[in-house]
Amino acid sequence: MTLLQSLLSPIGRSTLGLMATVGRISSYAFATVSHIFRPPFYLKELGQQILFIGYFSLPVVGLTALFTGGALALQIYAGGSRFNAESAVPSIVAIGMVRELGPVLGGLMVAGRVAASIAAELGTMKVTEQIDALVTLSTHPLKYLTVPRVVAATLTMPILAGIGDVIGIFGGYLVGTTRLGFNSAAYISNTIDFLQSWDVTSGLIKAAVFGFIVAMMGCYHGMNSGRGAQGVGKATTNAVVGASVLILTSNYILTELFFTS
């Protein structure tokens, strides 16, 4: 009995801990969203974050998409040749990129880059009492720090994913035309003909959700960082891991919602 208990109690404890964290993050998210629509608005901070989160993530997202699109074309060609379906390469690359890989891989890359840096920055602000100082200067940390980051990420992530989609398809096109013997015009018309607007839109909606998740996790873990350098390190790790897991989970849920029925 005691052995069983000692084996089971850590599981119970961590489950309870997880539930508590989920609850805290949810209420933090609700508070953030409610602050988005109430003044004061910090537009300058929003602009800085759009630049940092959106613009400076372009190289990472672009490279990821380029090579993913290329690899996808090779794989689909190899797989398709088993059914004499090589001609499906352009459309499957496009659909795969636009619906899944563009937003998901883009989201994961941004999670690594942005969630980590937000958590480290806010965590350091927390341990050096800068967040307390903000409060004493009559500035709400949620409004001044969290809202600009969350709004910036939610707005720019779809744009990043859209650019990633185009670059990814282009990667497939490069591989298709140079390595797999596709005719350039045929590849392009095949891509465009089979792609539906909902394929693209659904991917962009996903990207917006992922952007929200990334910034949210960075801010939540940063603001609740433990004391000292160790606390900040832990907050950074938790932010990246949490954001990545949530992106993959919510991706499945969104896919269910969008594409079944």
Binding footprint of other proteins, residue count (CB under 8 A): 14
Amino acid at 61: V
CB-nearer residue toward other proteins: 128 or 189: 128
**Residue 138 sits in the site that holds other proteins (CB under 8 A):** yes
Judged by CB under 8 A, the stretch of 5-13, 66-74, 131-139, 230-238 that binds other proteins is 131-139
Q: Does 128 bind other proteins (CB under 8 A)?
A: yes
Which is nearer to other proteins, 23 or 40 (by Cβ)? Answer: 40
Among 19, 135, 192, 257, binds other proteins (CB under 8 A): 135
Query: Hey, is 183 helix, strand or coil?
Result: coil
Phi, psi (rounded to 5 degrees) for 37: -100, 5
Among 132, 228, 249, 253, binds other proteins (CB under 8 A): 132
Q: Can residue 139 be called a binding residue for other proteins (CB under 8 A)?
A: yes
Which burial class, exposed, middle or buried, applies to 84 when counting CB atoms under 10 A from its CB (0-12, 13-18, 19+)? Answer: exposed
Among 55, 78, 129, 179, binds other proteins (CB under 8 A): 129
Among 78, 133, 229, 253, binds other proteins (CB under 8 A): 133
Q: Does 26 bind other proteins (CB under 8 A)?
A: no
∠ at Cα 233 (229, 234), nearest 5°?
120
Closest by Cα among 33, 11, 7, 55 to 146: 33
Instruction: List, in order, residues 6 or more apart from 219 with CB less than 8 Å away.
Output: 28, 32, 118, 119, 122, 145, 146, 149, 150
Binding of residue 117 to other proteins (CB under 8 A): no
Tell me the C-alpha distance between 186 and 144, whole Å: 51
Q: Is 136 in the site for other proteins (CB under 8 A)?
A: yes
CB atoms within 10 A of CB 250: 16
Q: Which is nearer to other proteins, 52 or 187 (CB)?
A: 52
Q: ω into residue 40 within 30 of 0, thus cis?
A: yes
User: Is the distance from CB of 126 to CB of 225 less than 8 angstroms?
Assistant: yes
- The rounded distance, in Å, linking the Cα atoms of 251 and 82 is 30
Backbone angles phi, psi at 195, to 5 degrees: -85, 130
Between residues 2 and 138, which has the closer beta carbon with respect to other proteins?
138
The answer to whether residue 40 forms part of the interface with other proteins (CB under 8 A) is: yes
Residue 82 or 227: which CB sits closer to other proteins? 227
Instruction: Pick the binder of other proteins from 4, 137, 185, 261 (CB under 8 A).
Output: 137
Q: How far is the CB of 180 from other proteins (least distance, A)?
A: 49
Site for other proteins, rule CB under 8 A? 40, 42, 125, 128-130, 132-139
